[in-house]
Structure 1
Amino acid sequence: MKLTREQVLSYRVAAQGLYRDATRTDRLAVLDFGVQDSAGEQARLAFDARLSKPPAAEAFGPGKPLALVWSLRGAPHVHRRAGLDALAGALYPLSEQDAAGRLNETGPSVARAGISALDQYAIAVRELRAAVRAPTGKGAVSTAVSRAIPPVMLRDCRPCKAKHISDSAMRAPSLAAGLELVPDTAPPVLQRRPGARVPTRPDRDALRELALRYLTLLGPATPADVAGYLGARRADLMQVWPEELVEVSVDGRRAWLPGAQQDDVAGAQPAELVRLLGGFDPFLQARDRDLIVPDKAAQKALWPVLGRPGALFVDGEVVGTWRPKSSGRKLTVQVEAFAPLPASVWTSVAAEAERVGAVRGATDVSVTRAQ
């Protein structure tokens, strides 16, 4: 099956619900694999891009159907609370090398410690859970865990001028420890998830299902694409690679797609919409960046090392970037288009900026164009 880039992008737009045909946040398709959050607003921006009305200010958190946790690649993501136990099993290391990677360790550093990476991971899970019995700030959790773990697991921290558990060793095992993050807290505050099941081994069926969800929402894709998104080793992922896939060619590149989605991608219609996507929007999280934005200069603008902007998304293409600038309740959306755009698009951009303002709680919203 041969597909064009345009077919694939149009399929992803529809699969991810960017036509705004959803009315409930917890039913958004992108929550099937998680929505990354940053600065307390990226997840809400992703929800807004897909909902008929802006999301509620408190869309997720303790006691709500959605929860914020450190999950994929150790980054904060919003997931459905009901699926967190399965997700914890899906992200549990599948091998010694996988555990070392999740802990940001190397073979030599693990050998010097004299404790296997899998054992270090299990120790971190146990001590993280023991340290959090009530809502507790990250610093206090780090101090308590650092006192409890073997000294060989401590790492030098120049800013702190002390030794403590590494950031990776706190983030990666926290979901397995049954912990969640309290939204809009800085530094982060962690608390226990009521009724959380603490896994002691990987759940291969759950991992296979998670890979299938990526392929459904960001496919067609390769095993390397999926492994990169999950923060897993490709070699481990291939042990649970879904069987119900078809191989396709996307402008000459081999990729895989769930067989059930063949008709949808083949019949995908060109997208007609304007959105201001947040910098960590699920659409931009696909690992095949050359497919999303072929132009190298545009890639550098969209995915810089620091300070990621949002994307101006028009009819299925990233055509520029945007950044918010706030002063009290006033919001200015600064847009830099890669090329001249028609007046009708700028009219839609102004409407989208108003929605961004609603998400951020602004009452005065304006749009400026970068020269």
Structure 2
Amino acid sequence: MLDVDREQVLAHRIAAQGLHRDRSDPGELSVFDLGLQSTQRDTAAISLAARLPGAITEESVVDDSRFVLAWTHRGAPHFHRAGEIARVTAALVPLGEEDAMARMGWQRKQVEAAGMGALEGLFTAARALRKVVTGVMTKGAASEAVTKIIPDGLSYWCRGCQATHILEQVMRLAAIHGGVRLEAGAQPATLAPLPGRGRMRTTPDPAAATAVVRDYLRLHGPATPKEAAGFVGTTATLVRQMWPEDLVEVRVAGRKAWLPGAEVAALENPPEPAVVRLLPPWDPFLQSRDRNVLVPDRARQKEVWRILGNPGALLADGEVAGVWRSKGSGRKRLDFTITAFDPLPPATRTAAEEEAERVAKTRGFLDLRVTWN
């Protein structure tokens, strides 16, 4: 059995996720095998800037017809390769009622109170979205229209908006099954039909679900069923039903974890992680569910993953070495505050400031200022 330490695991992930900038075409980046999360404006573009050698702008992914933005894993918005959206959709069909309810996450209690099963609620909402979203329309307009044709239990009165809305997580999970995507770069959130959307699939595809777990283990492994379940948005018990057969057991600092057999050689001898990158919140590297491996210190974990308002992370020589935030001054200057967890060598600080310049250009700012804490 292969026995590795956390430093070796992180070096492997840095290489597996393209942070050595060994690709020049976004379509070739392995992170799109799972999808590139875009929870906040510019985060996807900054993730690309961390992985591609050339100049990156927000339009690099927003205006690239090879990619589609949709609510997918856990109901979060992700960019996917357009040619793979059917496979992604199939993988997101729950394996059964228990899986569907688990994916409802923070709105499980509301779904349970709706008086119908989670599967029924999911596909009822999907059919309504398919019927309503026949062209480009704002999320608010779509929600208002959908609530008129779904059972009352799937909607709620929003005091802030003074309107009735479909349950947020139900809408997010149902949209892809209803053949609905997000308009990339649009504010407020805007929906549109997926090109050439076919009939809605309600039958699970175990092979597609297993492929998602395998991709997670390939990009974030070695990992456990519980960690893979955290990414998928279901339970470890259900992920074991999606568990790939071609895995190798690995010990990470004495803890059992698994990796696809084809990745073992890369884990055994990863390239030196001698890179400095500014990663945005929700960057794929930060999506690994074993936070104790990424950042062993609990106090530092709370700095990287906050309840509200996550900062970006400074990746330096194989470690999450600090956090960063930025604030625009009009459209001319972007001010960065970088907080290092420990003193950094001058060369690392210089490299981080060069990465800040890339981030500023990606966001369309002409000038920047970097302050170190």
- Cα 1:15/1:159, change in 2 over 3 Å: same
What does residue 54 of structure 2 align with?
53
What pairs with 1:113-152 in structure 2 (closer than 5 Å)? 113-152=114-153
For each residue in 1:28-72, what CA deviation from the matched residue of structure 2 results, as whole angstroms up to 9, or x when unmatched? 011000111132211111111110113343233477001111111
- Cα 1:20/1:28, change in 2 over 3 Å: same
CA apart distance, 1:226: 0.6
- Cα 1:110/1:301, change in 2 over 3 Å: closer
- Cα 1:140/1:2, change in 2 over 3 Å: same
Select the residue among 322, 326, 329 that pairs with 2:328. Answer: 326
4+ aligned runs moved over 4 Å, structure 1 = 104-112
- Kindly, what percent of the aligned residue pairs are identical? 42
Kept in 1: contact 2:19–2:51 (CA 8 A): yes
2:203 is paired with a residue whose SS is coil
CA apart distance, 1:152: 2.4
Kept in 1: contact 2:57–2:361 (CA 8 A): no
What does residue 293 of structure 2 align with?
291
Q: Distance in 2 between matches of 1:263 and 1:300?
A: 33
Kept in 1: contact 2:123–2:177 (CA 8 A): no
Number of equivalences: 370
What does residue 312 of structure 1 align with?
314
CA apart distance, 1:107: 7.4
Kept in 2: contact 1:59–1:66 (CA 8 A): no
What does residue 201 of structure 1 align with?
203
CA RMSD of aligned residues (A): 1.6
Select the residue among 208, 214, 217 that pairs with 1:215. Answer: 217
What does residue 179 of structure 1 align with?
180
What does residue 346 of structure 1 align with?
349
Kept in 2: contact 1:32–1:213 (CA 8 A): yes
Kept in 2: contact 1:6–1:270 (CA 8 A): no
Q: Distance in 2 between matches of 1:316 and 1:105?
A: 33
What does residue 249 of structure 1 align with?
251
Q: Distance in 2 between matches of 1:55 and 1:107?
A: 39
2:59 is paired with a residue whose SS is coil
What does residue 189 of structure 1 align with?
190
CA apart distance, 1:106: 7.3
2:301 is paired with a residue whose SS is helix
CA apart distance, 1:206: 0.8
Indicate whether 1:97 and 2:98 are aligned.
Answer: yes
1:186 is paired with a residue whose SS is coil
- Cα 1:143/1:108, change in 2 over 3 Å: closer
Q: Distance in 2 between matches of 1:303 and 1:290?
A: 12
CA apart distance, 1:25: 0.7
- Cα 1:52/1:62, change in 2 over 3 Å: closer
Kept in 2: contact 1:220–1:248 (CA 8 A): yes
Kept in 2: contact 1:122–1:200 (CA 8 A): yes
Kept in 2: contact 1:100–1:118 (CA 8 A): yes
What does residue 82 of structure 2 align with?
81
TM-score by length of 2: 0.95
Kept in 1: contact 2:24–2:54 (CA 8 A): yes
Kept in 1: contact 2:315–2:321 (CA 8 A): yes
Gaps of 5+ in 1: none
Structure 2 counterpart of 1:271, one-letter code = P
Q: Distance in 1 between matches of 2:297 and 2:153?
A: 46
1:308 is paired with a residue whose SS is coil
What does residue 168 of structure 1 align with?
169
Q: Distance in 1 between matches of 2:50 and 2:138?
A: 31
Kept in 2: contact 1:350–1:366 (CA 8 A): no
CA apart distance, 1:210: 1.0
Kept in 2: contact 1:182–1:191 (CA 8 A): yes
Structure 1 counterpart of 2:152, one-letter code = P
Indicate whether 1:6 and 2:7 are aligned.
Answer: yes
Q: Distance in 1 between matches of 2:363 and 2:112?
A: 48
Kept in 1: contact 2:26–2:52 (CA 8 A): yes
1:243 is paired with a residue whose SS is coil
TM-score by length of 1: 0.96
- Cα 1:31/1:330, change in 2 over 3 Å: same
Structure 2 counterpart of 1:359, one-letter code = T
